[in-house]
Amino acid sequence: VMHQQRRKGVATALLKNLFDRCKKAKCKTISLEVRQENSGAVAMYSKLKFKKKGLRRNYYQNPPDHGVILEKSLLSENGEHSK
């Protein structure tokens, strides 16, 4: 999302649309990675219930940074797609 459009809910809306499409396609999980130092993105993904699954050390360059691997389950506790 362009810098001047951040903190307006654009990324959250896009991701929720993605979640809906993935559920319709019977996907079970979504995974991604984000720069460790990108605290705004990390906070947004946490709010959307992504969980940290790993770390890719020195994954990014210019500037150097680690990649945090995040994952979100699209299934409820009973194994069905959540709402």
**Burial environment of residue 70 by CB neighbours within 10 A (0 to 12, 13 to 18, 19 or more):** buried
Q: Is the pTM of this model over 0.85?
A: no
Provide the pLDDT for residue 5. 73
CA distances to 6, 18, 24 from 81, in Å = 29, 14, 9
Provide the pLDDT for residue 4. 79
Helices (H), 1-83: 10-24, 39-47
Provide the pLDDT for residue 82. 64
Provide the pLDDT for residue 83. 59
Mean pLDDT, each 10-residue run in order, the chain (83 residues): 79 94 95 96 96 97 97 84 65
Q: What share of the chain is helix, strand, coil (3-state, %, to 5)?
A: 35, 35, 35
